Structure 1
């Protein structure tokens, strides 16, 4: 697991200098503290710049050693030095791929998974990604063709950011790396700001800064002859028209429930087995939820000694899962490590702002950072249960989607009455998870289309609240931009399934890579910890995409097939426990220890002078929250995160050494 950075330039273009590349890799040293390396297509001269008479490239690398500890130095090349790679990630099937490549005459100098990609590229060109089973973001410089090839894994586990200019292209694992190059502009994209306050993240392929992009999951990009060609190479086959490149799914439309369960058990077990390949200590995150318990249970079944499992707890009972984690660990026989932490937003905020590069409003990044920190004390690799909710309909909101489809059959005027008159004036608890509040939230979207209703449920600021939040001047900059189009586009990717399946597909394309995987990657790599996700092996994802919704969701509960297939790994109490979010008491904090932060950050002269938000709206939200008239904690956190990001990345200099 590593960090990569670099650039490519056209003939007579502007190359970067050796000091530029060093600053880029220094900014991501946390991703790879064990080793570093550089490749230059032409050696820089005394002034630090390479010759730009021909197209060229520079690749930079920071390494966290996981496999082939002694010989995995990067950038790495093929036999004659014509193909070079800087690679971030893990290829789990590299041992299976190697014999066929050797039979074709390729000579390996290392035992690393990285070298396998180089030789696959020689054989298959840009289609090499279709043979890879793993998580990855990499850059390949093909010196013969004078082209740079970028690729990102199917699920979006590993990040890759780029900036295209008229005569050169920059790339890096993190945006802050590119910002180390002198003269790089930092102009905020108003539409990206609108997207952030809609979704609590800036979705791919956009970035919060103009001119920067994220390579989307399952995409490649070729920079050649001054052109950038971006292509998708894989899609989870939710739609009947989606191509299936998986012979194991042949005939799946006629499988019985028992056949589905058998296939799921075999495929997920194989995924876990591959992810246990490591030359360093590894363990598993264990919350005591269904997904993490299954992951740890399969690991334990494949190990000849107790595996290490890790959980954290908080003094606030509604956020503390340690009891369930202990029970799961005892049932599975793992070597369990448990930590009690006192999460501090004041301590976390500068670190989160610096590490996440963009405004990131998911407050569960705070406990995720703590979990990564304590886990790294014992192991270098940790398996997680991420992806189980999206793939197997685990979120409670999917049950709301199912219920809403029944109400949709009622006449429109009845839905309107139910949505706007029946529930909206009933007083409810300020607690967002209180039943009355959840009923009001559910009912508020019933008059809308199913797609826009779902956006209302998951969005942090709906369209009406954003309109009230923004100043007239900022609204004018949006020029009619429609933030909902990102979600609507994800729905269009799955037009021919039931609504619940379509909605899980939407989350696989959006919430999973943009929020969950981004959160975990940044939090773990901030502590030089590698996180691996067996549920997100593309073979598991393809199986889940084709699975009928009746096997996932029934009787008002999701993940039915996981409960049935892996019941031997799950204690009875965990099979029936309510879902608990991995969160922090943000609502309480804003009425107590974080109360001064609201005024100091959101209402000071610096924030007000930006011209983004109406001061009276922000003040009203603060007053309503502190008087317990309404729980605005997630919205206030998003506003604080945005302002702190502006101060660090736009007003400040983004020091490569870390938050200041």
Structure 2
């Protein structure tokens, strides 16, 4: 796992100086503490500058980057892991390619020479890379299918710059830092800035499953992969018309293929020349991952969990049960999360405003795990692929209610739901019921946004914005991001379509961003077997009846891997991985909340309606309404503005 940065320019573009390139890579040193390298070349047609910071995982001695092909005409900087590089190498050698190292990085170079941009279709892994093709004066960039590795870029006249993190691009002299009002609107809707937007104008994120070609001063992006949710055929029938005509697989066949595919994904992700372990929360997905690792290992694997003194946020007992069942070498830590201590570090590392508060425990877990290992496997992706979130049950229940007579459904639009008491705690039954009913009068797609969004209606955001800022946002509709994701999956039941939407939006933009930044902050590589694209494609084609049965979620996982999962874990309720921000805002963060959101600095920006924000703060502190998540997003946004707009990222780093 690494950090990459660089630029390419035409004869009329501005070159990137080596000093600037080294400042860009220096800002990424946490992603690659083991090695660094740069490559620069300038001709009459233009030039290129490639920079790299390395976290050594494979071929520790020979993996220096930037790396070139045999004659130095193709150069690469790469962040990620290609898990099938050993399988690809003999084929490439048979086609005449000569290897200088034992790295997965060099495999990409030769695949590009052989297949051009379509090389990405042969890769099994997580990646973000940039290839400079000197003969064509072309920069080729690509990002993995599901968006596990990030890639920011800025295309301007005669030049393109790129980096693993936005802060690296901000090290370039004269780099603009102008807020994009549409991106702010998206952040306040979803608690993240989705691809391809960036919080700053003029910058973009390469979308998952896409590659980009910059040549002759122009940029072209293209999608090369989509999850096959619209194809509900079993995998064998795709290549066997007779099977397709005779019907689909049995449940046993689906389970056998799932076990085989996920086991292979784990086996490939255990390839490492450095110590390796697994995150273990005691949930189904992490337990399966650790269990498959243990079944493939010759000795007890290292597993890691953290717990909190607050019982509602502490999963240690389940993790302990899973570790004892699997006989792993388990490491357990108790932490006292402190937002006051963690916030500056979190803001600096995440580059853009990022409102998922579970980033805090994820950073704690990454920090303690890195003390023992350099690579950790996780269970990320299991909920999205196998319908594990409780909200999918709500989606199904709403679909049933939609079939009721119109005079019954008219009650869903009752204004009185707005006054319905929420109860204590953000997970209270009454709060969830209120949110459910308030959205029921809406179309299913909009309803889902109401459930998962933060400031989740245009009306609410209009109340939040000042009149001047409302004009800057204009008629931009942040809901289009989610609605466009629904358009990728039209032919399946609505619950399956919703899992597809989460696969295309929430998973890469929230979960993968959270895990990548939190782990790389401590030089830890996180690998996710569930996100192997073979596993993802299998799950996408799988019938919903295998994933959900009655009130059971992830049925096919618990049935397929029941030997790895203790009985006490198989049917436990999902806890999530959070911190008590509702309590913090009424106690230790009360002053920070007031000083940040209602202070002179925030008011002077003129973004928000001061009285509306004050009303939210007072309603939450008094206990009348639980506004903890919305207030957390506003707090994160203002703290980000102070770190990235009022100061330089480098200065913020110095303070962290």
Normalising by the smaller structure, the TM-score range is over 0.9
Distance 1:284 1:260 in 2: 26
Report Cα offsets for 1:431-457 as digits up to 9, x if no partner: 221111111111111100000000000
8 Å Cα contact 1:423-1:439 kept in structure 2: no
Partner of 2:603: 608
Partner of 1:23: 23
Partner of 1:255: 249
Displacement of 1:557 in angstroms is 2.1
Partner of 1:326: 320
TM-score (ref. length: structure 2): 0.97
8 Å Cα contact 1:180-1:656 kept in structure 2: no
Q: What's the Cα RMSD here? A: 1.6
Written as runs of structure 1 = structure 2, the 5 A alignment for 1:405-484 is 405-420=399-414, 423-463=417-457, 464-484=459-479
Partner of 1:176: 167
Written as runs of structure 1 = structure 2, the 5 A alignment for 1:246-325 is 254-325=248-319
1:358 paired with 2:352, answer yes
Written as runs of structure 1 = structure 2, the 5 A alignment for 1:187-586 is 187-240=178-231, 254-420=248-414, 423-463=417-457, 464-586=459-581
8 Å Cα contact 2:234-2:542 kept in structure 1: no
Written as runs of structure 1 = structure 2, the 5 A alignment for 1:52-63 is 53-63=44-54
8 Å Cα contact 1:350-1:659 kept in structure 2: no
Report Cα offsets for 1:361-415 as digits up to 9, x if no partner: 0000000000000000000000000000000000000000000001111234422
8 Å Cα contact 1:249-1:543 kept in structure 2: no
Which of residues 577, 591, 602 is equivalent to 1:596?
Answer: 591
8 Å Cα contact 1:77-1:84 kept in structure 2: yes
Q: Which moved more, 1:251-260 or 1:131-140?
A: 251-260
Report Cα offsets for 1:169-198 as digits up to 9, x if no partner: 000000000000010111100000000000
For the residue of structure 1 that corresponds to 2:281, the secondary structure is coil
* Number of residue-to-residue matches in the alignment: 651
Runs of 5+ consecutive residues of structure 1 not aligned to the other structure: 43-50
Distance 2:447 2:635 in 1: 27
Distance 1:241 1:80 in 2: 46
Written as runs of structure 1 = structure 2, the 5 A alignment for 1:56-205 is 56-205=47-196
Report Cα offsets for 1:483-535 as digits up to 9, x if no partner: 10000000011011000000000000000000000000000000000000000
Distance 2:651 2:230 in 1: 44
Displacement of 1:603 in angstroms is 0.8
Quickly say closer, same or farther: Cα 1:469–1:406, change in 2 above 3 A.
Answer: same
Report Cα offsets for 1:60-92 as digits up to 9, x if no partner: 000000000000000001100000000000000
For the residue of structure 1 that corresponds to 2:300, the secondary structure is coil
For the residue of structure 1 that corresponds to 2:588, the secondary structure is coil
Partner of 2:631: 636
8 Å Cα contact 2:307-2:314 kept in structure 1: yes
- Runs of 4+ residues deviating >6 angstroms: 241-250
Quickly say closer, same or farther: Cα 1:235–1:10, change in 2 above 3 A.
Answer: same
Distance 2:432 2:288 in 1: 29
Report Cα offsets for 1:109-142 as digits up to 9, x if no partner: 1000000000000100001000000000000000
For the residue of structure 1 that corresponds to 2:591, the secondary structure is helix
Distance 1:301 1:84 in 2: 39
Displacement of 1:555 in angstroms is 1.0
Report Cα offsets for 1:420-477 as digits up to 9, x if no partner: 2574444341322111111111111110000000000000112232121111111111
For the residue of structure 1 that corresponds to 2:623, the secondary structure is coil
8 Å Cα contact 1:68-1:110 kept in structure 2: yes
TM-score (ref. length: structure 1): 0.97
8 Å Cα contact 2:69-2:106 kept in structure 1: yes
1:34 paired with 2:28, answer no
Distance 1:245 1:61 in 2: 42
Distance 1:295 1:476 in 2: 49
Displacement of 1:657 in angstroms is 7.7
Runs of 5+ consecutive residues of structure 2 not aligned to the other structure: none
For the residue of structure 2 that corresponds to 1:211, the secondary structure is coil
For the residue of structure 2 that corresponds to 1:494, the secondary structure is coil
Report Cα offsets for 1:147-173 as digits up to 9, x if no partner: 000000001000000000011000000
